[in-house]
Amino acid sequence: MAEIPAGPAQDTQDPEKGGLKSDRVSGLVLLALAGLIAWLNREFPLGTLADPGPGYVPLLLAVGLGVIGLLVALLGGRSEALRDIRWTEARRAAVILVACVALTFALERIGYRLSVFAFLVFFLGVVERKKPLAVVLVATGFSLASFHVVAILLGVPLPRGPWGF
C-alpha cells in the first residue's frame, strides 16, 4: 500500500517561509472549538471544587483544549505550510463520504439489501468503472450474503423497505 502521510510534518523549510503554517490553522481551530464548548457549557451548573456540578469537568477540559490549541498555534512556526498539504485524494474522499451518507439515509427507507446493492453498484460501476458483470455479481452477492448472515443467522432485525425486501 502507498505511503500514508501521518505523524508530524517534517520541517524541511525555514520557519515562517512558505506562508501560513498548518499548525497555526489547526491550533486556532482547536481554540475555536474549545470556545464553542465553553459557550455551550454555560447552561450547566458548575458546582464547586468540593462538589463539582455537571459543567465543572467540561469547562476544565475546554479551557485545557483552548490553552493547548493556542500553544500549538503559537509554537507551530516550523510546521508544514498549509499550502504544502496536498489534497489530491480529497475529491474521492468527498465522493465516498457523500455515498456513505446516502446509504445511511436510505437504509431505513428502502431497506438494507436494496440500498447496499445500489451503493456497491455506484462504487464499482460508476466510481471504479469495473465490468458490468462483475459489478452486478459483487453487488448482488454482497448484499444478499451479508443480509443472510447478519439478519437471518445472527438475528439482527435489519431494515426492510416498504416492499418487504
15, 83, 108, 132: which one binds other proteins (CB under 8 A): 108
Show the cell assigned to 123: 462504487
Whether 79 and 17 have beta carbons less than 8 Å apart is answered as: no
> What residues does 52 pair with on adjacent strands?
47
Tell whether residue 23 is a contact of other proteins (CB under 8 A): yes
In angstroms, rounded to a whole number, what is the distance separating the alpha carbons of residues 110 and 113?
A: 8
Question: Judged by CB, which is closer to other proteins: 18, or 52?
Answer: 52
110 touching other proteins, by CB under 8 A: no
Buried b or exposed e, range 125-150, using 16+ CB within 10 angstroms: beeeeeeeeebbebbeebbeeebeee
Work out which of 17, 19, 133, 154 binds other proteins, going by CB under 8 A.
Answer: 154
Of positions 15, 16, 83, 100, contacts other proteins by CB under 8 A: 100
Kindly identify the residues of this chain, within the stretch 58-97, that bind other proteins according to CB under 8 A.
58, 61-62, 64-65, 68-69, 71-72, 75, 78-80, 85, 87-93, 96-97
* 133 counts as binding other proteins under rule CB under 8 A: no
Out of 14, 17, 19, 50, point to the residue binding other proteins (CB under 8 A).
50
Q: Which of 25, 28, 81, 136 binds other proteins (CB under 8 A)?
A: 25
- The burial class, CB within 10 Å (0-12 / 13-18 / 19+), for 119 is buried
Rg (CA), the chain: 24
Measured from the CB atom, the residue of 17 and 87 that comes closer to other proteins is 87
